[in-house]
């Protein structure tokens, strides 16, 4: 049976929107993907119709010891 570990990332958009800050976050997701992490879910935190944060849950399979 596979055993997984989990990680949660929080992305806070800049006032200019997602475009200016998403490149760095994409780089981090790509780095994590190279280390076996997979995004399983994402969701936003909104206040008065404005997205204040995006959360990503990632998982990767633990190697047997």
**Domain carrying residue 53:** 4-61
Residue 4 pLDDT exceeds 70: yes
Q: Regarding predicted confidence, which is higher, 61 or 64?
A: 61
Per-residue pLDDT of 10-52, as tens digits, reads 988 776 655 556 678 888 999 999 999 999 999 998 888 888 8
Looking at residue 39, its pLDDT comes to 97
Q: CB–CB of 62/1 below 8 Å?
A: no
Rounded to whole angstroms, the Cα distance separating 26 from 34 reads 12
Longest dimension (CA), the chain: 48
Looking at residue 24, its pLDDT comes to 80
Residue 65 pLDDT exceeds 70: no
């Amino acid at each position: 049976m596979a055993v997984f570990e989990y990680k949660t990332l929080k992305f806070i958009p800049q006032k200019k929107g997602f475009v200016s800050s998403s490149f760095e976050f994409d780089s981090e997701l790509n780095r994590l993907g190279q280390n076996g992490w997979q995004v399983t879910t994402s969701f936003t935190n909104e206040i008065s119709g404005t997205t204040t944060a995006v959360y990503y849950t990632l998982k990767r399979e633990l190697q047997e010891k």
